[in-house]
Amino acid sequence: MSEKQFTVAVVGATGAVGNQMISCLAEREFPVKGIKFLASHRSAGRQLRFKGELIAVEELNESCFEDVDIALFSAGGSTSKNFAPAAAEKGCVVIDNSSQWRMDPEVPLVVPEVNAHAVSQYTKKGIIANPNCSTIQMVVALNPIHKNYGIRRIVVSTYQAVSGTGKKAIDELFDQTRAMINFLNWENRVYPHRIAFNCLPHIDVFLDNGYTKEEMKMVNETRKIFEDDTIGVTVTTVRVPVFYGHSEAINVETKRPVSAAEVRGLLEKEPAVKVMGESGMTNPLQTVSTCGWWLTIFERAQPPMPFRLQRFWQENTYRAYV
């Protein structure tokens, strides 16, 4: 019996994440019968390569989803809001990378390594939501701990690469770094302050509660994915002058006693996770062109808190999404 094949549409195909979606479809040898590259009118007519074949980008409109089985959306919340329901109405399974549908109670928020069972709920609206990239890497690491020991509280600080903002931010970091090294004038168009040789504890807008929207995404998404609103989550998100690869420092308080050695044993069994010791320190460069997650567990005693762990965690920003 031959393998079932699918017609796939990539919405936002010319963007940084869209490019990674196309690459991963080819690398993973996903059974693609046909593929459409969709973007705004500004990108229509451009050609992108898929498995050696050049394919023209089409302008996105509702008629694009006729006979499409799966639509991968990575073109921003407003595009997803306007076009994802139309795609779903035509029988297309929508997998959305934006924040538009994540907290909709009728849309499953899925990380396959964590809550694949939630995919079955997609039939309510025909849409599957993808979490924030920083949420993805954290819940993958914490899921085995939560299942086996229960998590009471999470305190996490992120060190997020400019790739999380997009290609214009990558270019801005490159241009500013080159200008400063050569004692030239620099400009900032993407971020409110210079990102080269700097850190910005400001990702997305600030909300009335004093946290940024990015920080609250991690709080709310973690609870939804784990299906547990009792978990305490405190987040500080920081943009750092790194091109690719988000990092996180995570402090976890469990409900039952657990040691770093026990956690290491759990995570070494996770196929997508690469566990390192302190002598094999992980860093963002290791994540480039990889599809897994890299983790260092620090065996730090924190008396009188015997149920707490400290860990440092990296991912390839784009491939985590994909």
Q: Is the pLDDT of residue 228 over 50?
A: yes
64, 92, 146, 246: which one is catalytic? 246
In a domain, 14, yes or no: yes
Query: Where does the chain have alpha helices with state H?
Result: 16-27, 77-89, 112-115, 133-149, 167-181, 213-226, 260-267, 317-321
Of the listed ranges 56-70, 172-186, 260-274, the least confidently predicted one is 260-274
Q: Read off the pLDDT band of 318 (50, 70, 90).
A: very low
Question: What percentage of the chain has pLDDT greater than the value 70?
Answer: 86
Average pLDDT over residues 187-213: 96
Query: For residue 98, what is the domain's CATH number?
Result: 3.40.50.720
Domain of 112 in residue numbering reads as: 6-130
pLDDT value, residue 233: 97
Q: Per the domain annotation, does 185 fall within a domain?
A: no
3-state DSSP: the chain helix, strand, coil percent, rounded to 5?
Answer: 35, 25, 40
The per-residue DSSP string of 237-263 comes to: EEE-S-SS-EEEEEEEEESS---HHHH
Residue 235's pLDDT band (boundaries 50, 70, 90)? Answer: very high
Average pLDDT, whole number, for the chain?
89
108 shares its domain with 144: no
pLDDT score of 93 more than 70: yes
Is position 202 annotated as part of the catalytic site?
no
Q: Greater confidence, 240 or 267?
A: 240
- The answer on 153 and 82 residing in a single domain is no
- Same-domain pairing of 57 and 206: no
What CATH number corresponds to the domain at position 203? 3.30.360.10
Position 172 in a domain:
no
pLDDT for the residue 147: 95
Q: Are 156 and 138 in contact (CB under 8 A)?
A: yes
Within a domain: 147: yes
In degrees and rounded to multiples of 5, residue 298 shows phi and psi of: -90, 120
The distance of Cα 183 from the centroid of its chain, to the nearest Å, equals 35
Q: Are residues 86 and 230 in the same domain?
A: no
My answer on whether 153 and 103 are in the same domain is: no
**Phi, psi torsion values for 155, nearest 5 degrees:** -120, 120
Q: Which residues contact 301 (CB under 8 A, 6 or more apart)?
A: none
Q: How confident is the model at residue 166 (pLDDT cuts 50, 70, 90)?
A: confident
Tell me the β-bridge partners of 38. 11, 58
Q: Which of 133, 193, 202, 291 is catalytic?
A: 133
Return the minimum-mean-pLDDT range out of 125-139, 192-206, 244-258, 288-302.
288-302
Q: What is the pLDDT of residue 270?
A: 87
Burial of 285 (0-12, 13-18, 19+ CB in 10 A): exposed
**Do 87 and 204 share a domain, yes or no?**
no
246 is catalytic: yes
Q: Over 90: is that where the pLDDT of 2 sits?
A: no
* Residue 173 domain flag: no
| CA Rg value for the chain | 20
In a domain, 157, yes or no: yes
Q: Check whether residue 204 and residue 310 sit in a common domain.
A: yes
Render pLDDT for 27-40 as a digit per residue (tens, 0 to 9).
999 999 999 999 99
Least confident of 93-97, 108-112, 163-167, 215-219: 163-167
Both 13 and 74 in one domain: the answer is yes
Of 132-141, 273-282, 311-320, which one has max mean pLDDT?
A: 132-141
For residue 111, count CB atoms less than 10 angstroms from its CB and return exposed for 0-12, middle for 13-18, buried for 19 or more.
buried
24 and 125, same domain (yes or no): yes
Does 24 share its domain with 118? Answer: yes
Query: Is 22 in the same domain as 151?
Result: no
C-alpha distances (whole Å) from 162 to each of 171, 194, 245 are 9, 12, 9
**pTM (predicted TM-score):** 0.88
Which whole number is the average pLDDT over 171-194?
A: 97
- Which residues, at least 6 apart from 148, have a Cβ–Cβ distance to it below 8 Å? 258, 266
**Residues 244, 293: contact at Cβ < 8 Å?**
no
pLDDT attached to residue 301: 43
Residue 40 covered by a domain: yes
Q: What's the domain count of the chain?
A: 2
The pair of three-digit structure tokens given for residue 234, joined into one six-digit string: 């405190």
The answer to whether residues 295 and 313 touch, using CB atoms and an 8 Å cutoff, is yes
Average pLDDT over residues 227-255: 94
Residue 208 falls within a domain, yes or no?
yes
Distance CA(25)–CA(22), nearest Å, equals 5
| Residues 56 and 37 sit within 8 Å (Cβ to Cβ) | yes
Judgement on whether residues 71 and 111 belong to the same structural domain of the protein: yes
**Domain closes at, from 130, 152, 177:** 130
